[in-house]
A and B are shown apart, each in its own frame.
Chain A
Amino acid sequence: MSPAFLNFIEIVLNGLMAGIMYSLVALGFVLIFKASGIFNFAQGVMALFAALTLVGLQTGQVPFSHLINAIFGTELHHWGSGLHTVLAILFTMALMILLAWVIERVVLKHLVNQEPIILFMATIGLAYFLEGFGDLMWGSDVKVLDVGLPSGGSLWWEDVTRTWVTEGSEYWGMYIDRLDVAATSVAVILVVGLSAFSQYTATGRALRAVADDHQAAMSVGISLRTIWVIVWSIAGFVALVAGIMWGSKSGVQFSLSLIALKALPVLILGGFTSIPGAIVGGLIIGVGEKLAEAYVGPLVGGAIENWFAYMLALAFLLVRPQGLFGDRIIERI
């Protein structure tokens, strides 16, 4: 194979894996949108918050230490030792469930039957709140998250691919980040797990019932509010996974919350209501973005990754306004 073709394969592979990372975030959106019709802008910040908490627990930071120090003039910063990774993850998960419960209690309960735009704004408010809260709790410096995932390029894969090239041409093998591979496997497990959960458990069936029709679900005795807490908890879990992956990749910092913005074009491409849509949309955006950066970027001066996904999604929407797998929009008067 010629080096140019191998390069193309490398770009596509990396794009696919970047796409999976986007899908991880988009998944949380879809879950909540399906169950409650809420477009949860806070999903990215939830990922940030989960990652911050995880790091804080792992390294044994004292929560709110800055605030306490400012008020009481103390010099707190760390407990004696941190928690084991598994324990820290469990505690973080418990906190995300608590968060889901509080959100339902304090915010959503009062906003039932409001217009979608109001609910959307409420989640933006929530995003701001969580962002400030997370920073206040754990400090806003960039943190390193290490939960024992592999990282760095895969040498084995480089060696394998080096032999594929036609004799006599220069080629140094493909670069694939092992972290991306790990993230991909985790995402696959997550999606399979979620599908199995919603397909084969009673709670899962209740979730699907609520997604189908709120009124009908309530009339057969499904508690809408419990379901919402469950859905937000699951979204919190997905956020935790996404937070771990993105956090290990690029450090835990404020920009982590901006991955929510990356997930939006994925969503409109795949459709707001479809889990497979989130995955396929993520893959398309990931590959499209990397290909565009590699082949179109040099023509217009680079750095087009920021907006290319949106343009792609926009062009796509003009053809299919409800996204790839979204429910058909039916309007009546």
Chain B
Amino acid sequence: MFYREAGDFKTSYAADQQTFPIKSERWLFWAFIAIAFLVVPFFINDYWNKAVLMPLLIYAMAALGLNILTGYCGQVSLGTGGFMAVGAYACYKLMTAFPGMDMFSVVILSGFITAGVGLLFGIPSLRIKGFYLAVATLAAQFFLVWMFNKFAWFYNYSASGQITAPERTVFGIAVTGPSTTPWATYLFALTFVFVFGWVARNLTRGRLGRSWMAIRDMDIAAEIIGVSPLRAKLSAFGVSSFYIGMAGAMFFANYLGAIEVTEAFGIEKSFLVLFMVIIGGLGSILGSFLGAVFLVLLPVLLKNIMVGYLGWATDLAAHVQIMLIGGLIVFFLIAEPHGLAQLWRVTKEKLRLWPFPY
């Protein structure tokens, strides 16, 4: 019905390797991107920006990073919150130390700094595996948060212990600080997510991505055929932390503007991003986005229904919400352990044949 094609007519490797092999899907994708870049900025208001679009984009970025590590390389990490904190504080230190620097370079540099920290905490992965590693990454989570709380240098000795983003610009337009406009922060985050989503897609199907997947599927076998576990695991930790660091930087500078580390980057953040990756689909770029969309939109929706429509007290609504989210996670794992991306894949297969399944 929607996908009309008869047989395989690919004549080149490039055609075979395409991300969107079906023409209509390709058009759909570019139309979607065009709307996101060219239409949404004209209609965006503060509520949509703060409540939906910014968290969506930033969590999508973080989920991409974690998906590279957990989904592609098979190393479960519970330290996402800690690495986001590194990104945020690196961003803050860069912004205050070099006031002239534009925001693009600040965010990317914060990513690189986080990648360095990630490499450091990735070293134990060479020796320990599975759940032992997951617990070991908790060490990173707690240690990093403690460090940012304890040493006043990181928050420039401010009395409250908070960090607040000063105003910085891109092409003369403010994207951080109090005088930003919704469309500016939105476009800034969208650019990052689009560019690095594209990078992630191409990384994961290239040589590096294949070495990650080999390590994930069976590390000993991978080692025997010549994949270096050291290089594969550490590069996964590095690239993943790079993404998560950028997400942390944007979370702080563009989204919230002022944060306190234990509140913003606690262990719940780590779990939230891990949920996104699992619900979206492990080892899928699309899955990272779908997971982020799902877990950002669901609470907003539930809150609107329970508080806005039914008029319940907010704490009661919060309890019901956390219960529903937990229940939904279990439900999704039972219904489709490979996540929303797999659901989409199955639907697509069905649509290709519909309405003549034979």
B-binding residues in A (CB < 8 A): 39, 66-67, 70, 106-107, 110-111, 114-118, 120-122, 124-133, 135-136, 140, 261, 264-265, 267-268, 272, 300-301, 303-304, 306-307, 310-311, 313-314, 317-318, 321-323, 329, 331, 333
> In the complex, A132→B319 CA distance in Å?
5
Chain B residue contacts of A314, Cβ below 8 A? 124, 136, 139
A residues near B136, Cβ cutoff 8 Å? 268, 310, 313-314, 317
- Give min CB distance, A333 to chain B, whole Å: 5
Given A307-B143, A310-B138: A333 touches B220 (CB 8 Å cut-off): yes
Asked whether B44 is an interface residue with its Cβ less than 8 Å from the other chain, the reply is no
A267 touches B135 (CB 8 A): yes
For window 141-167 of chain B, which residues contact chain A by CB distance below 8 Å? 142-143, 145-146, 149-151
B329 touches A121 (CB 8 A): yes
A39 with B333, Cβ < 8 A, contacts A130-B326, A307-B139 known: no
Please, which residue of chain A has its CB at the minimum distance from the CB of B324?
Answer: A132
Report B-chain residues with C-beta under 8 Å of the C-beta of A66.
Answer: 313, 316
- Set of chain A residues within 8 Å of B139, measured between Cβ atoms: 307, 310-311, 313-314
- A55 → B minimal CB distance (Å): 17
Q: Which residues of B contact A329 (CB under 8 A)?
A: 129
Known contacts being A67-B316, A110-B334, A310-B143, is A265 close to B135, with CB within 8 Å? yes
CB pair B323 A129 closer than 8 Å? yes
What's the tally of chain B residues with a CB closer than 8 Å to chain A? 50
Contact A128 B150 (CB under 8 A): no
Contact B313 A307 (CB under 8 A): no
Interface membership of B320, Cβ < 8 A: yes
Q: How far is the CB of B233 from chain A (nearest CB, A)?
A: 14
Q: Does B344 contact A (CB under 8 A)?
A: no
8 CB contacts below 8 A, A to B, read A106-B330, A110-B334, A122-B329, A125-B330, A128-B325, A132-B326, A261-B267, A303-B146
Q: With CB as the reference atom, state the residue of chain B lying closest to A323.
A: B132
Residue B224 at the A interface, CB < 8 A?
yes
Q: How far is the CA of A122 from the CA of B337 in the complex (A)?
A: 10
Q: With a CB–CB cut-off of 8 A, which chain A residues contact B149?
A: 303
Q: Check A261/B138 contact, CB under 8 A, given A135-B319, A318-B127.
A: yes
A301 to B148, CA, bound (A): 12
Residue of B nearest to A265 (CB): B135
Q: In whole angstroms, how far apart are the Cα atoms of A125 and B312 in the complex?
A: 24
Q: How far is the CA of A268 from the CA of B131 in the complex (A)?
A: 9
Known contacts A66-B316, A303-B149, A311-B143, then 20 further A-B pairs from the complex at CB < 8 Å, ordered by chain A residue: A67-B316, A67-B320, A114-B333, A114-B337, A116-B131, A117-B282, A121-B275, A122-B329, A124-B271, A127-B326, A129-B322, A129-B323, A132-B320, A140-B319, A267-B135, A268-B136, A301-B150, A306-B145, A306-B146, A317-B128
Residue from the list B129, B282, B313, B322 in contact with A132, Cβ < 8 A: B322
B339 to chain A, nearest CB (A): 10
Q: Report yes or no: B132 in contact with A317, Cβ–Cβ below 8 A.
A: yes
Q: Which residue of A lies closest to B147 (CB)?
A: A307
For B333, give its contact among A122, A272, A313 (CB under 8 Å).
Answer: A122
Asked if B327 is at the interface (CB within 8 A of a chain A CB), the reply is yes
Task: Give the residues in chain A near B143, CB-CB below 8 Å.
Answer: 307, 310-311
CB distance from B219 to the nearest CB of A (A): 8
Q: Report whether A129 and B326 are in contact in the complex, using a CB–CB cutoff of 8 Å.
A: yes
B residues near A (Cβ < 8 Å) are 76, 124, 127-132, 134-136, 138-139, 142-143, 145-146, 149-151, 218, 220-221, 224, 267, 271, 274-275, 278, 282, 310, 312-313, 315-316, 319-330, 333-334, 337
Nearest A residue to B150, CB-CB:
A301
A333 / chain B contacts, CB cutoff of 8 Å? 218, 220-221, 224
CB of B145 to closest CB in A, whole Å: 8
Distance in Å from the Cβ of A132 to the closest Cβ of chain B? 3
Chain B residues, CB < 8 A from A115: 337
**C-alpha gap A114/B336 in the complex (Å):** 11
B135 touches A268 (CB 8 A): yes
- Select B124's contact among A128, A267, A300, A318, beta carbons within 8 Å: A318
Question: Cα distance A118–B277 when bound, in Å?
Answer: 12
Return chain A residues, CB-CB under 8 Å to B275: 121, 124
Report A-chain residues with C-beta under 8 Å of the C-beta of B334: 107, 110-111, 122
Q: Across chains A and B, which 9 residue pairs bring their CB atoms closest together, nearest first?
A: A132-B323, A128-B326, A129-B326, A125-B329, A310-B139, A307-B142, A132-B322, A125-B330, A307-B143
Q: Give Cα A115–Cα B130 distance, bound, in whole angstroms.
A: 11
List B contacts of A272 (CB < 8 A): 131-132
Nearest-Cβ distance from residue A125 to partner chain B, whole angstroms: 3
User: Would B142 and A310 count as touching, CB distance under 8 A?
Assistant: yes
A122 touches B131 (CB 8 A): no
Question: In the bound complex, what is the Cα–Cα distance between A310 and B267 (angstroms)?
Answer: 14
Taking a contact as CB atoms under 8 Å apart, the answer to whether B224 and A317 are in contact is no
B331: nearest chain-A partner, CB-CB? A125
B330/A122 in contact, CB under 8 A: yes
From A128, A130, A321, A331, give the contact of B128 (CB < 8 A): A321
Closest to A269 in B: B135
Check A131 against B322 for contact (C-beta < 8 Å).
Answer: yes
Q: Is the CB of B150 within 8 A of A300?
A: yes
- Chain B residue, CB-CB nearest to A33: B131
Distance in angstroms from A93 CB to nearest chain B CB is 23
In the complex, A126 Cα to B333 Cα: how many Å? 11
Q: Flag if A307 contacts B146 (CB, 8 Å).
A: yes
Measured CB to CB, the closest approach of chain A to B152, in angstroms, equals 10
Q: Pick from B127, B129, B142, B327: contact of A125, CB below 8 A.
A: B327
- Chain B contacts for A307, CB-based, 8 A: 139, 142-143, 146
| A331 and B327 within 8 A (CB) | no
CB-based nearest A residue for B152: A301
Q: Which residues of B contact A127 (CB under 8 A)?
A: 326
Q: What residues of chain B lie closer than 8 Å to A267, measured between beta carbons?
A: 135
Contact, CB under 8 Å: B323 / A133: yes
- Residues of chain B lying within 8 A (CB to CB) of residue A116: 130-131
Whether A132 pairs with B315 at a CB distance below 8 angstroms is: no
* Most chain B CB inside 10 Å of its own CB: which residue of A111, A116, A128, A267: A128
